[in-house]
Amino acid sequence: MGKVKIINDTISNFVKDFLVSNNIDSSVIESWSSDDNQKLFEKTIKTTKKKEDKKEEKKKSKHKDEPKRASSSYICFCKGERSNIKSKFNNLNNQEIMAKLGEVWNTLTDSDKNKWNKESEKDKERYKKELEKFYKDHPECVEKTQPKKPLSAYVLFCNANRQEVRNKNPDLNPTGVMSLLGKLWKETTDKTEWNNLAEKDKERYKKETSSDSTPVIEEPLLDVIEEEEEEVLVVEEKPKKKKPATKKEKKEKK
C-alpha cells in the first residue's frame, strides 16, 4: 500500500469516527464515505503531497548563497502599500488584504504605476549583478541553470494575465483560474502579440543554447514573480484529436 493511500485511509477513518461519535446525521457520514468523495479526497491528498514534495526539492537544490529573484512591478507595489492597506482596513485577513491590493492596483494609471515599474527595473538590475557574482563564486552551480525552454503563445498569455484574473476572482482556486484563462484565450481573436512574443522567446532560447560563453542572465519577457507567491503550473491546451467517423456517418457521406 502506497504512502498516500495510508495517509488517505487514516484521515478518512478519523473523520468518519469523529462524525459517528458526535452523532452527526447518517446522511452526512454516508456522503463522506461514498466512493466519489473518497476518490476526490485521495486526489486532494496526492496533489497536496506533490506540491509539498516540489517545495522541499526546490529548497534542497537551492544554494544558500543564491540571490533572491527580482520582484515584478505588482509585487513591489504590494510590498510598498501593504502596511497602508492593513492600517486602513484593520479588520481584513491576509487573503482579503491581497485582494484589496489587487483592486487598488487595477485602478492605477500608467503614470501611477511608473514608480513601481522603476523599482522593479532597479531590482532586476540588482538580481542580475548578484547572479553574475554568484556564478563566479560558485561555478559548480552553472550546470544547474540551463536556459529555460521557449514558451508558447498560450503560456505567455496565461503568465501575463494570471495575476489580473486572480485579483478579479479572489475566490477561484488555481484550477478555476486556469480554466478562466483558457476561456479568455479562446475568446482572443487577435493573437499576434502573443505569437510575436513566442517567436522572440524561441530566438532567445536558440541563442542561449548555442552559446559557449558563460551562462546568459535572462532578461525575462515578463515580470518575475517572487518565490513566496503561489506557483501554478500552466498546461498548454492540446488540440483535440478528431474521432474516427462512425459507420452511419460514412454512409451519410456516400
Give the number of other CB atoms < 10 A from CB of residue 15: 14
Residue 227 pLDDT level (bands cut at 50, 70, 90): very low
Separation CA 106–CA 104 (nearest Å) = 5
* CA quadruple 232, 228, 143, 146: dihedral sign: positive
Q: Encode pLDDT of 150-196 as tens digits.
A: 999 999 999 999 989 988 888 888 888 899 999 999 999 999 999 99
Is there a single domain that holds both residue 106 and residue 54? no
Q: What is the DSSP letter of 233?
A: -
Q: Residue 235's pLDDT band (boundaries 50, 70, 90)? A: very low
225 within a domain of the structure (yes/no): no
Do 78 and 180 have their domain in common? yes
How confident is the model at residue 61, as a pLDDT? 67
94 and 56 within one domain: no
The answer to whether residues 44 and 139 belong to one domain is no
166 and 172 in contact (C-beta within 8 Å)?
yes
Q: Are residues 127 and 184 in the same domain?
A: yes
Would you state the pLDDT for residue 81?
93
Same domain, 118 and 203: yes
Considering the domain architecture, whether residues 81 and 186 belong to the same structural domain is answered as yes
What are the distances in angstroms from CA 13 to CA 1, 16, 17, 153, 231?
Answer: 16, 5, 6, 46, 32
* 23 and 131 assigned to the same domain: no
Does position 238 have pLDDT exceeding 60, yes or no?
Answer: no
- Say yes or no: 110 and 178 in one domain: yes
**Is residue 179 domain-resident?**
yes
Domain count, the chain: 2
Cα(167)–Cα(229) distance, rounded to whole angstroms? 13
Residue 46 makes CB contacts below 8 A (sequence gap 6+) with 4
Q: Which one-letter amino acid corresponds to residue 14?
A: F
* CATH number assigned to the domain comprising residue 161: 1.10.30.10
Same domain, 53 and 155: no
Mark whether 78 and 204 lie in a shared domain: yes
- pLDDT for res 78: 93
Mean per-residue pLDDT of the chain:
80
pTM of the model as a whole: 0.43
CA distances in angstroms from 18 to 4, 10, 13, listed in the order given: 21, 12, 8
Structural domain boundaries enclosing 142: 73-210
pLDDT tens per residue across span 64-76: 888 998 999 999 9
Range name among 42-46, 124-128, 230-234, 236-240 with the lowest pLDDT average: 230-234
Q: How many CA atoms lie within 13 A of 6 on its CB side?
A: 3
Express as a percent the part of the chain with pLDDT over 70. 78
Q: Which residue has the higher pLDDT, 224 or 209?
A: 209
Asked whether residue 109 falls in the same domain as residue 202, the answer is yes
Residue 67 lies in a domain: no
**Rounded Cα–Cα distance for residues 146 and 235 (Å):** 21
pLDDT band of 46, cuts 50, 70, 90: confident
Q: Is residue 224 part of a domain?
A: no
Mean pLDDT, range 201-219, rounded to an integer: 69
Give yes or no for residue 223 having a pLDDT over 60: no
Asked if residue 249 belongs to a domain, the reply is: no
* pLDDT of 125: 95
Q: Examine residue 223 and state whether it is found in any structural domain, yes or no.
A: no
pLDDT at 149 over 80: yes
Position 156 in a domain: yes
179, 194, 210 — which closes off a domain?
210
What's the pLDDT at 253?
Answer: 59
For residue 131, being part of any structural domain is answered with yes
The pLDDT assigned to 143 comes to 59
